[in-house]
């Protein structure tokens, strides 16, 4: 019981702190790759605290509601992850939050917000089936969707699911909103869509969305860590290398269109998933 | 409560998001503003991001003369920014209208339409001067009223 309470606290409190720190390191490394000095590592926390101190500018009530549902759902999904719950349940709770964020963007009349929300929906459509396929692969290896069962494995999942790990990395890139998949909104550039579907969120609601995003990043990196959960060094190496690759890809790729994303990620993702699943089946 | 307020003040000074509006400038000042974002000057090290969205911005950077066509746009942008916010007028034209001040369509400087906190002179001002003006504005920004906490 006490262990459960501690895990809930870790999930609810430590996860966003970790997520913010990851975002800060990310910005610093990106600056280094662009031969800039870059902001301090704590910069994401300054941004969020500043946003909490701003005036409330609300377009409509739906937006406020959706921002709160989004952060609640993402927090719940991370807490469920730390409680070693069911992978499918975690995915559905996370998808619930993601959809409400899009509904909040659709509830405003701004064309930037509308187009950004459409693109975000297509992104969700792209990565959700792939994550389900990754979970199917995990089920075929471990015989369970429960994280506690997966952690009881003695051999790293990466050995039997190498291609599905790459598929999960596609989902991670989309979820982190990194290039080439940063067309619904982006951390750095405001280009053809100003700030995409986040255009109409402002002040503390933008801060809530940002914290929710940190939860999601921690959740997806947590899913990555399951692939080498047998040792702590393995977890650190796998997650660290994966995230460094994400930053590198972000800096060397251009922004693409949603048509390209849907075609490329589904072809490559589905092909790799099926090859991996068939190989598992025939082994 | 005071510690929270002090923390918010500190965070504000560390994280001003910038909105750049070209109010009929010759683009001389605009090029210098964009030069601040390049690796040579890198204003992101102060936490400054060019957001291009008035609803996310804290700092409005205006270049160029104000005329009868764009005064509404300028006022609208300033109004869409949530408080607290600061306005920095850049260059001779933004300050007074510059060499265009006697033209029939020119109203004058930015402060004829919206209240300005920091004036950065020059034609165009150097990137160093722009960064100095913005950092001066940050002190004012940290102390501004308008937070609801």
Indicate the pLDDT class of residue B147, thresholds 50, 70 and 90.
very low
Q: What is the pLDDT of residue A92?
A: 92
- Report the C-alpha gap between A269 and A256 in whole angstroms: 17
- Report the C-alpha gap between A176 and A163 in whole angstroms: 20
Which segment of A258-267, B25-34, B76-85, B133-142 scores lowest on mean pLDDT? B133-142
Residues whose CB falls within 8 Å of the CB of residue A4, separated by 6 or more in sequence, listed in order: A83
Domains with residue ranges and CATH for chain B: 12-143 (3.40.50.12280)
Q: Does B14 touch chain A (CB under 8 A)?
A: yes
> B129 by DSSP, 3-state: which?
helix
B47 → closest Cβ in A43, A52, A195: A43
Indicate the pLDDT class of residue B148, thresholds 50, 70 and 90.
very low
Kindly list the residues from chain B whose CB atom is less than 8 angstroms away from the CB atom of residue A56. Answer: 82, 148
Q: What 8-state DSSP symbol labels residue B118?
A: E
- A69 pLDDT more than 90: yes
Q: What is the pLDDT of residue A93?
A: 93
Instruction: State the virtual CA torsion across A210, A167, A240, A86 in degrees, nearest 10.
Output: 70
Kindly list the residues from chain A whose CB atom is less than 8 angstroms away from the CB atom of residue B146. Answer: 55
Domain count of chain A? Answer: 1
Indicate the pLDDT class of residue B11, thresholds 50, 70 and 90.
confident
pTM for the whole structure: 0.91
Its domain, for residue A57, covers 2-282
Q: Could you report the per-residue pLDDT of A39-67, keeping only the tens digit for each? A: 889 889 999 988 888 888 888 888 899 99
- B145 pLDDT more than 80: no
Hey, which residues does B90 pair with through a beta bridge?
A: B63, B120
Kindly list the residues from chain A whose CB atom is less than 8 angstroms away from the CB atom of residue B58. Answer: 50, 54
ipTM: 0.86
DSSP for B74-117, written as a single string: HHHHHHHSPSS-EEEEEHHHHHH-GGGTTSTTEEESGGGTS--S
Diameter of chain B by CA atoms? 53
DSSP for B15-46, written as a single string: --EEEEEESS--SHHHHHHHHHHSTTT-GGGG
- B149 pLDDT more than 60: no
Q: Could you report the per-residue pLDDT of A95-134, keeping only the tens digit for each? A: 999 999 999 889 988 888 898 899 999 999 999 999 999 9
């Amino acid at each position: 019981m006490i262990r459960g309470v501690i895990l809930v606290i870790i999930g609810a409190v430590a996860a966003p702190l970790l997520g913010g720190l990851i975002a800060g390191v990310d910005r610093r490394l990106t600056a280094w790759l662009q031969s800039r000095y870059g902001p301090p590592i704590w910069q994401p926390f300054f941004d969020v605290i500043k946003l909490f101190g701003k005036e409330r500018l609300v377009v409509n009530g739906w937006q406020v509601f959706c921002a709160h549902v989004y952060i609640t759902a993402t927090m719940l999904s991370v807490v469920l992850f730390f409680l070693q719950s069911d992978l499918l349940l975690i995915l559905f709770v996370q998808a619930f939050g993601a959809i409400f964020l899009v509904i909040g963007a659709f509830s405003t009349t701004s064309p930037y917000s509308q187009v950004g929300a459409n693109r975000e929906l297509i992104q969700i459509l792209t990565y959700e089936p792939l994550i389900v396929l990754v979970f199917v692969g995990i089920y075929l290896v471990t015989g369970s969707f429960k994280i506690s069962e997966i952690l009881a494995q003695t051999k790293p999942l990466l050995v039997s699911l190498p291609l599905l790990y790459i598929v999960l990395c596609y989902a991670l890139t989309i979820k982190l909103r990194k290039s080439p998949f940063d067309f619904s909104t982006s951390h750095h550039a405001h280009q053809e869509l100003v700030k995409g579907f986040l255009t109409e969120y402002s002040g503390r609601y933008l801060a809530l969305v940002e914290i929710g995003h940190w939860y999601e990043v921690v959740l997806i990196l947590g899913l990555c860590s399951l692939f080498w959960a047998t040792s702590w060094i393995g977890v650190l190496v796998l997650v660290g290398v994966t995230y460094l690759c994400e930053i590198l890809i972000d800096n060397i790729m251009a922004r693409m269109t949603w048509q390209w994303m849907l075609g490329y990620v589904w072809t490559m993702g589905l092909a790799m998933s099926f090859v991996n699943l068939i190989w598992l089946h025939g082994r | 409560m005071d510690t929270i307020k002090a923390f918010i003040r500190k965070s504000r000074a560390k994280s001003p998001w910038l909105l750049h509006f070209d109010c009929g400038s010759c683009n001389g000042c605009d090029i210098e503003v964009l030069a601040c974002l390049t690796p040579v000057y890198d204003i992101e090290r102060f936490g400054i991001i060019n957001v291009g969205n008035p609803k996310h911005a804290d700092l409005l950077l205006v270049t160029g003369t104000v005329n009868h066509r764009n005064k509404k746009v300028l006022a609208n942008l300033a109004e869409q920014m949530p408080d607290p916010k600061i306005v920095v007028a850049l260059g001779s034209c933004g300050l007074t209208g510059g060499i265009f001040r006697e033209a029939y369509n020119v109203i004058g400087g930015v402060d004829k339409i919206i209240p300005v906190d920091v004036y950065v002179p020059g034609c165009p001002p150097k990137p160093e001067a722009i960064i100095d003006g913005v950092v001066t504005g940050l002190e004012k920004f940290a102390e501004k009223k308008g937070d609801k906490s």
